[in-house]
């Protein structure tokens, strides 16, 4: 099955009514696989990724399907972090992707804004920041205090610790100290996190 994504036609009633397919944008894929994991992937891992629909020997596609992206992350979790429990492997990937995307053109701009805003104001813009990576993640933030919020994310791919790692890394970039991110609950395909920091 091809990993290229054909977006629905703008003409025709059926196309207008149909929801667009879930996709992950190329700069997100670039940030993880071409930047953060550059030189860290074995030939075997790259072969597994190719079979999943991501060929790193070729120019990246504009977008990759959600299914392809999830499978590629599963491969990395298994191949790159075999010494870690699965939950910690996915948490490590979450931290790593923030590092890598932050070194892409789009990511640098997004994270520069986060640094200027500081932790609380950056979290208020979390939904916007996450939607620069793909077209399906929805996030809501409920403020408990000036240093504590609840974050709900609609789709965590069955691995909430992936977003735990993302949130930890993002908070670190904003300059927050004493960051603590805990998984409060998992409901359906989503999860809710408690995010706190000391200053």
Q: Are residues 95 and 126 in the same domain?
A: no
Q: Are residues 95 and 163 in the same domain?
A: no
Task: Please indicate, yes or no, if residue 108 is contained in any of the structural domains.
Answer: no
**Could you list the residue range(s) of the whole structural domain that residue 134 is in?**
118-196
Segment 70-88 shows an average pLDDT of 97
Task: Please indicate, yes or no, if residue 30 is contained in any of the structural domains.
Answer: yes
The token duo for 133 is: 């990576």
Q: Are residues 97 and 174 in the same domain?
A: no
Q: Are residues 30 and 93 in the same domain?
A: yes
- Residue where a domain stops, chosen among 101, 133, 149: 101
Please tell me the predicted confidence (pLDDT) of residue 84.
97
- What global pTM score does this model have? 0.89
pLDDT averaged over the chain? 92
Task: Please indicate, yes or no, if residue 8 is contained in any of the structural domains.
Answer: no
Q: Are residues 46 and 95 in the same domain?
A: yes
Using one digit for the tens of pLDDT, what is the confidence trace for 14-60?
445 578 999 999 999 999 999 999 999 999 999 999 999 999 999 99
Give the sheet arrangement for strand 180-187, strand by strand: 139-145, 148-153, 190-196, 180-187
Q: Is the pLDDT of residue 99 over 50?
A: yes
Task: Please indicate, yes or no, if residue 3 is contained in any of the structural domains.
Answer: no
Give the number of domains in the chain. Answer: 2
Q: d(Cα 49, Cα 81) in Å, to the nearest integer? A: 15
Task: Give me the half-sphere count of Cα atoms (radius 13 Å) on the Cβ side of residue 198.
Answer: 2
Please tell me the predicted confidence (pLDDT) of residue 7.
46
Segment 139-151 shows an average pLDDT of 97
Categorize the per-residue pLDDT at 111 as very low, low, confident or very high, splitting at 50, 70 and 90: confident
Please tell me the predicted confidence (pLDDT) of residue 178.
97
Q: Are residues 68 and 122 in the same domain?
A: no
Using one digit for the tens of pLDDT, what is the confidence trace for 187-198?
999 999 999 999
Please tell me the predicted confidence (pLDDT) of residue 39.
94
Q: d(Cα 42, Cα 172) in Å, to the nearest integer? A: 29
Higher pLDDT, 111 or 164: 164
Q: Are residues 129 and 93 in the same domain?
A: no
The token duo for 19 is: 């929801």
Task: Please indicate, yes or no, if residue 45 is contained in any of the structural domains.
Answer: yes
């Amino acid at each position: 099955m091809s990993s290229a994504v054909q977006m629905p036609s703008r003409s025709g009633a059926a196309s207008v009514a149909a929801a667009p397919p879930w996709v992950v944008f190329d700069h997100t894929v670039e940030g993880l696989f071409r930047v953060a994991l550059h030189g860290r992937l074995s030939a075997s891992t790259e072969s597994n990724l190719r079979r999943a629909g991501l060929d790193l020997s070729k120019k990246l596609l504009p977008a990759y399907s959600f299914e392809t992206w999830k499978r590629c992350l599963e491969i990395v979790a298994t191949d790159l972090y075999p010494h870690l429990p699965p939950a910690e492997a996915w948490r490590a990937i979450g931290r790593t992707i923030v590092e890598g995307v932050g070194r892409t053109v789009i990511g640098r701009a997004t994270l520069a804004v986060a640094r200027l805003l500081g932790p609380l104001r950056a979290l208020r813009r979390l939904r916007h920041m996450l939607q620069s990576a793909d077209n399906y993640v929805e996030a809501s933030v409920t403020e408990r205090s000036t240093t504590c919020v609840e974050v709900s994310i609609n789709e965590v791919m069955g691995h909430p610790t992936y977003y735990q790692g993302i949130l930890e890394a993002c908070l670190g970039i904003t300059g927050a100290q004493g960051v603590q991110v805990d998984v409060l609950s998992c409901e359906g395909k989503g999860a809710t996190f408690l995010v706190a920091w000391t200053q």
